[in-house]
Amino acid sequence: MYSIDPLSTVPIYEQIVGQSEKLVLSGALEAGTQFPSVRFVSVKHSVNSRTVLKAYSVLSERGVIQADGTRGYFVCHDASEQIKNSRQNELDGLKETVKRIATAGIAKDRILESVEQAYNELN
């Protein structure tokens, strides 16, 4: 389910969060789908269970998953919308970043080229 890179500069819990959100947005994890248990992810990927719990806590705070008593974690019915709303907030932050970059004298063409390159790397 996850592809964990222990040598990455991205913390492991953030890798789990990002990949989980990607799976929800792609439809691979639909509303109501049960997430793998903390123990399963921990053992399968040789990751500390506290790290997995941290990732699940972040996902829960973002409204992507919810705990269901002793049954585990499940994808929320509006998880995709919650993720999209979160990304909209990031877009607002991007606008401020672009303003700072442009103010520093970076040409508009270079900024647009970087955005285009990042977008193309998705495919």
The model's pLDDT over 60-81, given as tens digits with 9 standing for 90+, comes to 999 999 999 889 999 999 999 9
For the CA atoms of the chain, what is the radius of gyration?
17
Domain spanning 12-78: CATH 1.10.10.10: yes
What confidence tens digit (pLDDT) does each residue in 18-31 have?
999 999 999 999 99
The mean predicted confidence, pLDDT, of the chain is: 94
- Report pTM: 0.80
